[in-house]
Amino acid sequence: MRGAFDIAGKEEEARRLEARAAGPSFWDDPEEAGKVMRRLDQLKATVATWRELEDQCHTLEELLALSLAEGEVGLRESLAQELTRLSASVDSLEFQRAFSGRHDQGDAILAIHAGAGGTDAHDWATMLLRMYLRWADRRGLQAAVLDTSPGEEAGIKSATVSIKGPYAYGWLKSEKGVHRLVRISPFDASRARHTSFALVEVLPDIQDTSEVGINPDDLRIDYFRASGHGGQNVQKTATAVRIVHLPSGITAMCQNERSQRQNREVAMRILRARLADFQLRKQAEEMARLKGEHVSAEFGNQIRSYVVHPYKMVKDHRTSYQTSDVDAVLDGDLDSLLKAYLATSVS
């Protein structure tokens, strides 16, 4: 496992970054310096974890030697306790292999789009937005809504959220796909059961602008007035921004910020994330094609169902993990679902 995580390489990278940070001109570019320091912190935390694990191994070896030599019951009990701690640490590190992707340690941009189901679908998108915001708060991550598009009667048509913190993208990447809700509709006077759908996108938040090259000539930038519920204009000036990447047709929009400049910066950030995700998916499809594997239409997959009526159940269709505590899940208790999916990637 030490080799799989390339600890020696991480130690060497940490030494290089420490030497760079000690340079006299290091803080001349505060933004770049901040990126370096965040990476250095990540490397130090990883190396420290391994050193702690090594210390546990040495302690276990010493206890084993004493136990064999003296045969004391107390030593055997200490040995069992150390072995339990070591096993838990190894299991935790084994699970970390699920976060071995290029962007897994970084921040994420999460987008929610209401699908089939009319007003119920708009309300369902709002419920999902609340669920992810609660989940981020539970994990101590920083979540900020970058953009929302309100529904005509209730809820939202779409929302884009920035989620910052360690492994934000690694945790959330399992949420990509279609989420299905079955419940008694609060918008139906006959109290009929309705099924609603929403699409969740999870994108890596690319901080390094050089990582995703964007030719300004490939962009079409539209400015318009931000709108509120019912389509009414909430601003008299055209501050909202839509950016279209012409070669790919990928679009990003922002209207929540106060100024046109701020909305354009956020829209560019979202566009970079979508282009990075597009490139990752194209690479995966090409690898699958070369291997002769079936390539599924990812965004067409229904990954999870949330049933509120006639019974209560949340079921992930990829792992078959399910729970009857729908209220807890919708309140942000997602870790069991996320871990069940991520565990499949390291099994």
* The model's pTM: 0.71
User: Per-residue pLDDT for 230 more than 50?
Assistant: no
Report how far Cα 270 is from the mean position of its chain's Cα atoms.
14
CA pair distance 237, 225, nearest whole angstrom: 6
Query: Which is more confident, 230 or 33?
Result: 33
Average pLDDT on 188-210 reads 84
Query: Which is more confident, 133 or 236?
Result: 133
| Neighbouring C-beta atoms of residue 45, cutoff 10 Å | 10
Give the tokens for residue 220. 């079409």
Instruction: List pLDDT tens digits, range 40-92.
Output: 888 888 888 888 888 888 888 877 877 777 666 666 777 777 788 777 777 77
Q: Are 150 and 157 in contact (CB under 8 A)?
A: yes
Average pLDDT on 121-148 reads 94
Cis peptide before 30 (omega within 30 of 0): no
pLDDT at 305: 94
pLDDT at 84: 81
**Backbone phi, then psi, for 49, in 5-degree steps?**
-60, -45
Give the pLDDT band of residue 295 (cuts 50, 70, 90). Answer: very low
Report how far Cα 285 is from the mean position of its chain's Cα atoms.
21
Give the pLDDT band of residue 160 (cuts 50, 70, 90). Answer: very high
Query: What DSSP string describes 249-311?
Result: TEEEEE--SSSHHHHHHHHHHHHHHHHHHHHHHHHHHHHHHHHT-----GGG-EEEEEE-SSS
Question: Could you tell me which residues come within 8 angstroms of residue 154 by beta carbon, excluding any fewer than 6 positions away?
Answer: 119, 122, 123, 126, 187
Instruction: List pLDDT tens digits, range 137-147.
Output: 999 999 999 88
Domains within the chain, CATH numbers bracketed:
7-99 (1.20.58), 108-344 (3.30.70.1660)
User: Per-residue pLDDT for 231 more than 50?
Assistant: no
How many helices (DSSP H) and strands (DSSP E) are in the chain? 8, 11
pLDDT at 290: 59
Q: Are 273 and 205 in contact (CB under 8 A)?
A: yes
